[in-house]
Amino acid sequence: MQIHSKLPHVGTTIFSVMSALAQEHKAVNLGQGFPDYDMPATLIDLVTAAMRKGYNQYPPMPGWMPLREAIVEKVFDLYRADVNPATEITITPGGTYAIYSALTCLLQPGDEVIMFEPAYDCYQPIIELNGAKAIILPLQFPSYTIDWQAVQNAITPHTKAIIINSPHNPTGTIITERDIRELQKLIAQKNIFIISDEVYEHIVFDKQPHLSMLRYADLRQQSFVCFSFGKTYHCTGWKMGYCIAPPVLTNEFRKVHQFNVFTCHTPTQVALAEYMSNKEAYLSLSAMMQEKRDFFMDLMKATKFTLQNSSGSYFICGTYEKISGEGDKDFAIRLTKEKGVATIPVSAFYQSGKDDKVLRFCFAKKKETLEAAVDKLIHC
């Protein structure tokens, strides 16, 4: 028997490859983006309590209403956006799922979606699964900024959406007020939608604001804005997130959602609704992660790597031209096998495999993990 693959060029992700390699060689894993420290014990206790109290059956399809109401309060506090919990918020099994459902409800065969590389690896496969075409534009190296004239030149009558990711995975860059102005000009009076990947919204450094699409009334009306509880509360394995979109867009989003997973794990939603009253848990996250970033950057001064800046996210990128002229994938594999540190080669985030000889490091780790990794990297 044979099946005609919808994704013939897709194999095992680099994250799985590098994590398996790290495990095989007992390497320190600074590759895949998840913390190695514990999530809040209080939140675990709240989930257990919710199960014992009987919150074990289906919640409403869009999500547990008290959780949606807690999100409304947070969004207003942070972005001064008035969001309707009944018609504009859907709880999802993770941020990637939210992106999938947004693109799936939006795209028709022949549509085009503008996206930027290096890119989180789910974007292009989702576009192609829906019979649409990814129009891939490179971010300008080494600043990883958007060339807005190139975006303007890429727009055609088939352009349906543009994907924005800030803070950015894998580079740690963030969009600026200039980017917002250019985006506003770009989509004004056009039937172009925004898929805004904001899963690292609470991890922005150096007292810079997170410029959510929700801050801007014009952009918000054309946006699916996707978030993650997992990144916020150090529980990536829970796969919990949400999507905020105007009622007409949310209505279409939920048509896909209800026939896919229908709804999400009830006890977790009940627990999150209560835990979100602890605003300091997310308001303090930027400072906590900036301390880890700065600690890692200071340690890395003793190595031959040259780190770029990270303005947000779990990640920071670095070049290794003082060490090797190898391609980044070969170097990352050798680094794992011979030095015992796993990273992610940034060429994996390009469909073309564009290789600027850059590695991505995840610093969302315990201090002793970062110290152990750098102790090994010093000997490169």
Q: What confidence tens digit (pLDDT) does each residue in 359-379 have?
A: 999 999 999 999 999 999 999
**What is the distance between the alpha carbons of residues 355 and 48, in angstroms, rounded to a whole number?**
46
Q: What confidence tens digit (pLDDT) does each residue in 47-81 have?
A: 999 999 999 999 999 999 999 999 999 999 999 99
Mean pLDDT, the chain, whole residue set = 96
**What is the distance between the alpha carbons of residues 243 and 295, in angstroms, rounded to a whole number?**
33
Side-chain-facing half-sphere of 150: CA atoms under 13 Å: 12
For residue 160, the Cα-to-chain-centroid distance in whole angstroms is 21
Q: Averaged over 29-35, what is the pLDDT? A: 91
User: Where does CATH 3.40.640.10 sit in the chain?
Assistant: 41-279
CB burial of 327-340 (b: ≥16 within 10 Å; e: otherwise) equals ebbebbbebbeebb
What's the confidence (pLDDT) of residue 12?
A: 75
| Per-residue pLDDT at 14 exceeds 90 | no
pLDDT band for position 19 (cuts 50, 70, 90): confident
Cβ contacts of residue 342 below 8 Å, gap of 6+? 18, 19, 21, 22, 27, 28, 29, 30, 31, 332, 335, 336
**What is the distance between the alpha carbons of residues 309 and 28, in angstroms, rounded to a whole number?**
22
Residue 228, beta-bridge partner list: 241
* Burial degree of 217 (CB within 10 A; 0-12, 13-18, 19+): exposed
CATH of range 41-279; options 3.40.640.10, 1.10.760.10, 3.40.718.10, 3.90.25.10: 3.40.640.10
For residue 380, the Cα-to-chain-centroid distance in whole angstroms is 30
| Per-residue pLDDT at 17 exceeds 90 | no
Q: What confidence tens digit (pLDDT) does each residue in 251-278 have?
A: 999 999 999 999 999 999 999 999 999 9
Using alpha carbons only, how large is the chain's radius of gyration in Å?
21
What's the confidence (pLDDT) of residue 119?
A: 96
| Per-residue pLDDT at 137 exceeds 80 | yes
What's the confidence (pLDDT) of residue 85?
A: 98
Alpha helices in 107-222 (DSSP H): 123-129, 148-154, 177-187, 217-220
158 in Cβ contact with 111 (< 8 Å): yes
200 in Cβ contact with 362 (< 8 Å): no
Between the two ends of the chain, the Cα-to-Cα distance in Å is 49
311 in Cβ contact with 338 (< 8 Å): no
Instruction: Report the C-alpha dihedral over residues 280, 284, 288, 290, rounded to 10 degrees.
Output: 170
Three-class secondary structure assignment of 251-311:
HHHHHHHHCCCCCCCHHHHHHHHHHCCCCHHHHCHHHHHHHHHHHHHHHHCCCCCEECCCC
pLDDT band for position 8 (cuts 50, 70, 90): confident
**What is the distance between the alpha carbons of residues 270 and 276, in angstroms, rounded to a whole number?**
10
Kind and range of the H or E run holding 170: none
**What is the distance between the alpha carbons of residues 23 and 75, in angstroms, rounded to a whole number?**
39
Helix (H, G, I), strand (E, B) or coil at 145: strand
Kind and range of the H or E run holding 203: none
User: Where does CATH 3.90.1150.10 sit in the chain?
Assistant: 14-39+283-377
**What is the distance between the alpha carbons of residues 158 and 87, in angstroms, rounded to a whole number?**
28
CATH of range 14-39+283-377; options 3.40.640.10, 3.40.50.1440, 3.40.50.300, 3.90.1150.10: 3.90.1150.10
What's the confidence (pLDDT) of residue 42?
A: 97
What's the confidence (pLDDT) of residue 3?
A: 87
What's the confidence (pLDDT) of residue 244?
A: 98
Q: What confidence tens digit (pLDDT) does each residue in 188-211 have?
A: 989 999 999 999 999 999 999 999
Enter the tokens of residue 142: 């080494």
Q: Averaged over 229-252, what is the pLDDT? A: 97
